[in-house]
Structure 1
């Protein structure tokens, strides 16, 4: 027998009691609370290693560049992070679709295996004496995490119905991002400065192998595929779209290094534009099973994704030039810069965990506005920070503010899209947010790098060229603030009082209907 009852969540409880009392919200797919914690840890670890791999590339970029023979332009270091973010953002949408077709657990396990092998190859690239091969290996690493992130988010979306518990788990995964960014930067700096930088990647390889096994063991087989038919995968659209996005990003990153007048740069730019245009035409007119069905989009989804793209694009610019300024102009050691990221670790966890409670009490548009404002103010603070100022001045302040921007936007966006899309598209829900976050980081950073290079050619001043690039970040984050504010106005003038995206969902903390299994069902 199944008993239905109403429980009040407004009474004071600690987090542990809330989790235990809501076990039934997970539809009883966990063997125990320990099983659930282990599964969430596996998914959160993908987020930790992903963000850690990004900051790792910046904390050790000078050490890595010096380990390869030859003379290179300083701006080639953009590729150390950019190549990873490029493939991560480009392939995520495809991997989410593959997860929806072939099974989220299957693709998630493959992602761990790919991460293991690509990280091993990246560490071994030191023996090739080729910085280009190292950049290629970093791009291969991005594909591994492109398989992991959306499928991990999709698994959560499948296991949990709409409610506090689901939001709480999404917040845990969101908190894993800043935790991984801070931990990855510091640990990589320590290893590279005191030992040997390839060890950073060998450690990731070992973790990937271990978590591939844990994925097969712990994630329930009930996470089944929506369809086993390959024809539901838009192969032609995937090839056209990914090729166009990759070529465009290569052109934007390589243009300032090689020169925009080089024939191959012009040719690749033209080809990329035609491919991206052809992708949209094919998806709208000819694709039987498009990667992005237009039926899932409305103005709210569009506003959410655009605000996230502009905010995270500005954050990618801030993050890269923060490290450049600290290492080159303030002459901090990699360990010192990594240690400066510790506030991100602590505050990031607090900010992300707050989303589970905030999302119930305010509209998503307000959360996005606060996140966009955090990105904008953080970029402004970096642009006006004096080079010789103490860390405890504007430097510490911008870390505090930007952390809230990161976690409010990512966690809130993931929750909103997961609640809006049906279970058969949960892989797509994870893909949309992760694609926008990571490709925007790579895209806008490449544009900022162009501004930096062109400015330096004219004024021959590193600080002025860096700040002009940061001003571009201020501009796009400011646009994000305006769009987020417009989102709020749309809801007010359209009298849209829903907390969700045109979908009924139970976000009321005061009363939730929960299913409690009988004793016989528990024994089973």
Structure 2
């Protein structure tokens, strides 16, 4: 009996030690409790898949674009709208959805976004029977609205679940790896379905996949980030409508200019009104108690981060669109062949994510990683801008696709972690929406500016037009690298003069420059 009681006591002590160990583990890595390893894995899979699906849906506008344009009898300049309409709304609406997620709950928004995504993917496929390209563009824009809700809610969930540290760095790096993997899978399946079946099936399969992810999100993403009804703040409808209208009109002008020209009243009017609305947004937000973006509290660090991200990702949108069109239109490759050429992207993206996580764990500062990432955007555009029309895939396109994912999967987690660490837990939606808005909106804006360059330098040559657009990508990413290096040097100088300062956005402890102090978790 004595031995039995001793054994039972040891077992109970062991169980209590295990429970205490688990609690300490959760306290050290998570802001929430009760997250088992299995649920954490399934949660990460669902959230990383959101990034993958967003990029896969973007690829669906690139690969079968020519075939879709033929179905609607569209002009060649209209084809750029298939990815641009999606990227435009996904960028313009992210600021609003970041705030919505903070109010209604990030999980609720995340689950609802999957359902919205599924509906409009289905309608995009059905649009073939309408014969209306305008309706198809509307469906693509509404898919972009779903992406605008998915991205900031996914990032806010990660920022709310994980405490600053290696685990959080790994989670954001895995999320970033979803971009190249998702884009490649989206390109391969859209090419295969469009070439071997019909292009509407690209969107039908998309709708089915989104429904499946909606179920996974409902089951495995924890309920976090929702404020009690008594503490919810009013939504800034005036500021939201002002900035969304301004961003849409400004981007619309750039994307319509290649077809109508800058002399058209359509472009001039939308450009001017868009600029006026964007300019009006900032004084409006400073006077609003519950601003969608607390402009008065945005410090210089956030502005530097967003500028570098915008320059890099605008060049990435140019790289994607013109690389695919180059091999299809100028080299005469099939869609399946063009999709197969993207095969280096997923392993390169995974390698870049692992490298970024290791660099962060070893103490390399995020501003340094952000600056270094711009090199790979620049190198990818240089390779494509200078390659001959008739040359083996292994001498140019392969290396562009192998190296450019390092720009994606180093810049996105570095910028996201830096901005996430600038805000408290309850303001993660604001941080997520800011970085995601710049990343996705800049891709659409970059395509619009590149289209203007293409039309004006082509002189009747498709090749010269493409080269001009790609050289613009070189300039944008090159300038971004210079700005990023300047910001990294500024951070290092601040660390030397004031080692305890959080101003450099490198300190893992969140400080509240971007979030209203009245907010409660």
Aligned twin of 1:105: 107
Question: Normalising by structure 2, what TM-score?
Answer: 0.89
Q: CA RMSD in A?
A: 2.4
The correspondence for 2:256, drawn from 239, 244, 254, is 254
Tell whether 2:8 aligns with 1:29. Answer: no
Most deviating of 318-327 and 202-211? 202-211
Query: What TM-score do the two structures reach when normalised by structure 1?
Result: 0.89
Specify every segment of 5 or more residues in structure 2 that has no aligned partner in the other structure, as ranges.
1-12, 511-521
CA contact (8 A) 1:20 1:33 kept: no
Match of 1:510 in 2: none
* Alpha-carbon spacing, 1:346–1:20, altered in 2? closer, same or farther (3 Å): farther
CA shift at 1:409, angstroms?
Answer: 0.2
The residue that corresponds to 1:488 in the other structure is 488
The match for 1:394 is: 396
Residue 412 (structure 1) aligns with: 414
Quick check: 2:93–2:148 contact (8 Å CA) kept in 1?
Answer: yes
Deviations 1:101-128 (A, max 9, x none): 1111111111111101111111111111
Contact between 1:362 and 1:499, CA under 8 Å: does it hold in 2? no
Query: What residue in structure 1 maps to residue 516 of structure 2?
Result: none
Do the aligned partners of 1:85 and 1:442 also contact (CA within 8 Å) in 2?
Answer: yes
1:90 to 89, 92, 96: 92
Residues 421 and 192 of structure 1: CA distance in aligned 2, closer, same or farther (over 3 Å): same
Deviation track 1:14-57 (CA, whole Å, cap 9, x = no partner) reads: xxxxx999555225634521111111111111111100111121
Q: By how many angstroms is 1:211 displaced?
A: 2.1
Look up the match of 2:68.
64
| Aligned-pair CA distance for 1:260 | 2.5
CA distance in 2, matches of 1:76, 1:226: 46
For each residue in 1:227-262, what CA deviation from the matched residue of structure 2 results, as whole angstroms up to 9, or x when unmatched?
Answer: 666653211000011001101111111122123233
Does the Cα contact within 8 Å between 2:420 and 2:432 map onto a contact in 1?
yes
Corresponding position of 1:451: 453
Q: CA deviation at 1:295?
A: 5.4
Residue 499 (structure 1) shift = 9.9
Provide the rounded CA distance (Å) in 2 between the counterparts of 1:184 and 1:149: 17
Distance 2:505 2:181 in 1: 33
Answer whether contact 1:102 1:228 (CA < 8 A) is retained.
Answer: no
Residues 101, 229 of structure 1: 8 Å contact kept: no
Which residue in 2 is equivalent to 1:514?
none
Instruction: Give, in whole Å, the separation in 2 of the partners of 1:378 and 1:478.
Output: 11
> In 1, Cα distance between the equivalents of 2:136 and 2:214?
24
Tell me if 1:315 matches 2:316: yes
Distance 2:276 2:34 in 1: 48
Q: CA–CA distance in 2 between the matches of 1:502 and 1:214? A: 34
Uncovered stretches (5+) of structure 1, i.e. residues with no partner: 8-18, 508-524
Higher relative contact order, chain-length normalized (CA < 8 Å, sep 6+):
1
Post-superposition offset of 1:326: 0.7
Q: Aligned pair 1:467/2:467, yes or no?
A: yes
Aligned equivalents of 2:304, 2:260: Cα separation in 1: 36
Instruction: Identify the residue that residue 362 of structure 1 maps to in structure 2.
Output: 364
- Residues in 2 aligned to 1:300 and 1:241: alpha-carbon distance in whole angstroms: 22
For the Cα contact (< 8 Å) 1:42–1:211, is it kept in 2? yes
Aligned position for 1:339: 340
The verdict on how the C-alpha distance between 1:499 and 1:352 changes in structure 2, with shifts beyond 3 A counting, is farther
**Structure 1 contact 491–497 (Cα < 8 Å) conserved:** no
The question of whether the paired residues in 2 share the 8 Å contact of 1:29 and 1:159 is answered with no
**Displacement of 1:193 after TM fit?**
0.3
* Deviation (angstroms), 1:387: 1.1
| In 2: Cα distance, 1:221 partner to 1:438 partner | 27
Is residue 353 of structure 1 aligned with residue 383 of structure 2? no
Cα distance, 1:310–1:503 mapped onto 2, change above 3 Å: closer
Residue pairs, 1:191-206, within 5 angstroms: 191-206=193-208
Deviations 1:145-199 (A, max 9, x none): 1111100111111111111111111111111111001111011100110011111
Q: CA deviation at 1:503?
A: 6.9
Pairing of 1:122-521 with structure 2 (within 5 A): 122-225=124-227, 231-284=233-286, 286-294=287-295, 296-360=297-361, 361-456=363-458, 459-494=459-494, 495=496, 501-502=504-505, 504-505=507-508
Distance 2:285 2:335 in 1: 45
Contact 1:104 1:225 in 2 (8 A): no
Alpha-carbon distance, 1:67 to partner: 1.7
